[in-house]
Amino acid sequence: MSEVSSSDLISTWSGQSEKLIRELFDHALTYTGMSVVFVDEIDSLCRIRSRAEDDSSRRVKTELLVQMQRLHNSENPTLLVYATNCPWELDSAFLRRGFEKRIFVGLPDLDSRVLLLKKFLSKTKIASDVNWEKIGETTEGYSGDDLRRLAREVAFHQFRKYKELHASQQENATASQAERIPVSAADFYEVLQSFSPSELHASQQENATASQAERIPVSAADFYEVLQSFSPSVSHISLQQYDDYKSS
């Protein structure tokens, strides 16, 4: 399987983009068995043509069409898969000649959202008060990437909360003890023997705190605190555009 993004095929050098496209298809045609070519964000390569379009963009479109036809004529079984978030922006020439089947992949349903969140947080301890179904219902309208970002933010939130609590407890305990004990010259020299530069010391403290925080489970409150300031990336306008495109 050959998997690339459209950005991997775009170059500022004249003729280089066409060469990269040819090499991609050459690679697929070298296989004697079944092969798959997957290109993400294909709209960047074959957007609807316009008068303002430059010659290099036209050449890229032409080369891609030529290679698609070459693949079609080949005896090697090759599956060509393109992905886009903006299907309405694709050039009609590609829709007629290159896309025999179109599959709409919508936003994840409730079960899928719960499954994704559990996967993204599989290495994080979760408290028993977390109701996955309720969390899943709260995240309706979230994309897979939204859920990934949410899981990361929840884990960071738990770490920050623990770090603040740990620092506060240490500060209070240290201040209370220090008030009763005088500092001597021996104290200075003993500390200096094991003292590290500030950056290294901060890094060591950070790692120790992170290790301790990993043992504290993420609670339902952590989820809901993060969700209050978190919003999905897919708007209702975008969803309407998909519905209109599917029905056209």
Contact, 18 vs 51, CB < 8 A?
no
SS3 81: strand
Q: What is the pTM of this model?
A: 0.66
Q: How many domains does the chain have?
A: 2
- Which among 239, 246, 248, 247 is positioned nearest to 102, based on CA atoms? 246
> How does pLDDT run across 173-186, given as a tens digit for each residue?
554 555 555 655 56
Range of the domain at 153: 110-233
Write down which residue in 75, 97, 119 finishes a domain: 97
DSSP 49: P
Would you say how long the chain is, in residues?
248
Please check whether residues 166 and 88 belong to one and the same domain: no
152 domain-assigned: yes
User: CB within 8 A of 4, min separation 6: which ones?
Assistant: 24, 38, 39, 40
CATH code, domain carrying 31: 3.40.50.300
> How does pLDDT run across 109-138, given as a tens digit for each residue?
999 999 999 999 998 888 899 999 999 999
Q: For residue 197, what pLDDT is reported? A: 57
> How does pLDDT run across 74-119, given as a tens digit for each residue?
877 888 888 988 888 888 888 887 677 888 888 999 999 999 999 9
Token pair in block for residue 75: 């005896």
